Amino acid sequence: MSSIEIPEAFSGLFEPHRYKVYYGGRGSGKSWAAARALVNLAHHTPLRVVCAREFQNSIQESVHQLLSDQIKLFGLPFTIQDNCIFNDIGSEFIFKGLSKQEGATVKSLEGADIVWVEEAQNVSEPSWRNLTPTVRKDGSEIWVTFNPDVEDAPTYQRFVLKQPTNALVKKVNWDQNPWFPSVLEQERLDMLRDDPAGYQNVWEGHPRTFAEGAYWREEFEALERAGRIGDVPYDPNRPVFTWWDLTHSKSESGDPSAVFFIQATATGTFDCIDYWEGHNVSLGTVAKDVILSRPYTYGKHFLPHDGKNTNSHNLYSIRHFCARWMRQNGVDPWSCGAQLGHGAGGRLTITERYATADPLYLQAPCNALEKLLQAVLAPKATHSTPETPAAYG
């Protein structure tokens, strides 16, 4: 193959850049152009190409088929196997998911000449932080193709709004594809007629302000159009109320816990003056580092309906946290249960379940170990080494 045809908008794929980023709406030919350029380059020069996406549970979820189609179209001498593609001059294509970068995945990225991240709108910030410094071979490149989703998505923020050094970033849409199929043209026109707002995202590549399917999406979009979303000042003369949303997620892949900070105004409306969210944060840390660290005068704190239930991620609900804290500070179980509103009939049972350890629990062995530590650390002239205990398997 001496030459290939791709839309002029993608000519930058053959220029030297650390990052080559193509984004836009449906029908622009981004994936097709990248695949065609890569098989052409790998046909002439030995290249190690890693084709990546955030989640890849099977090879069917990769660009394996797209690359295979281009190779077959031009009759190129590649060997196509289920999990890789290679040729006799030393080029190879391998396929990886980024969400679990461990061992072999990281090693394969280190030696890559090109990493092509397809459907990059789904790539998380932790995955980008792992990927970019790992692709470290001299002259290596990272190719990024995606259809924008929401404006605050990590990929859009990282490559469009805050472009890195030595990056080619280009928006390409359907009208720059000379081979745009007629069947898609009718779909495009139908969506323009029936869903103008969705059309701007799907076909013109404009990011959504709010994710598709998000609760209250239409309401928040209306608020934004009305100019009611922006910086809201804090009034030190009025109390701040907090509303909490507690989740059970154990990692950054799930929904975060969140706290909203609300003030009532003199006109009877409410201002949301602040917001916090986080994963894997204990309630004690939230109280100390989020609530008490802010310079607000608080009114009340409102928990969700299940706020008293055990949170499998944070270990304790607010009742759990308070119960254990009081018991550790010497409050007797009866007073602890009364303060927490436990029913009189089973007050002690509930309290003991919430705060299982008495303040004196295992105090004797702890004292003994403390004496041992003091003996070990004391000057040699003033103590004798304790007898070595027998080893038990």
Sign of the Cα pseudo-torsion (329, 332, 336, 337, in order): positive
In this predicted structure, what is the pLDDT of residue 251? 46
Conformation bin of residue 104: beta by default, left when phi > 0, alpha when psi is -120 to 50: alpha
Amino acid (one-letter) located at 94: I
In this predicted structure, what is the pLDDT of residue 114? 97
Q: Which of 283, 343, 279 is nearest to 319 (CA)?
A: 283
The structure tokens listed for 226 are 């009305």
Helix (H, G, I), strand (E, B) or coil at 14: helix
Q: Which of 185, 146, 119, 205 is nearest to 21 (CA)?
A: 146
pTM for this entry: 0.60
Please name the residues in contact with 326: beta carbons below 8 A apart, sequence gap of 6 or more.
335, 336, 339, 355
In this predicted structure, what is the pLDDT of residue 93? 97
d(CA 125, CA 254): 14
**What φ, ψ does residue 122 adopt, rounded to 5°?**
-95, -5
Q: CB of 25 within 8 A of CB of 202?
A: yes
The structure tokens listed for 336 are 């602890």
Q: How distant, in Å, are the alpha carbons of 210, 218, 225 from that of 214?
A: 7, 9, 17
Q: How distant, in Å, are the alpha carbons of 43, 115, 172, 300 from that of 135?
A: 22, 8, 26, 50
Kindly give the pairing relationship between strand 298-302 and strand 240-245. Answer: parallel
pLDDT in tens, the chain (393 residues): 557 889 999 999 999 999 999 999 999 999 999 999 999 999 999 999 999 998 887 787 789 999 999 999 999 999 999 889 999 999 999 998 887 654 455 666 888 999 999 999 989 888 898 899 999 999 999 999 999 988 889 999 999 999 999 999 999 999 999 999 999 999 999 999 999 888 999 999 999 876 665 556 677 777 877 888 888 889 999 999 999 887 654 544 456 788 999 999 888 889 999 988 887 677 777 888 888 889 999 998 887 766 555 444 443 456 666 776 677 677 777 777 766 666 555 445 555 655 555 555 556 776 777 777 777 766 655 444 444 444 433
3-state helix, strand, coil in the chain (%, to 5): 40, 20, 45
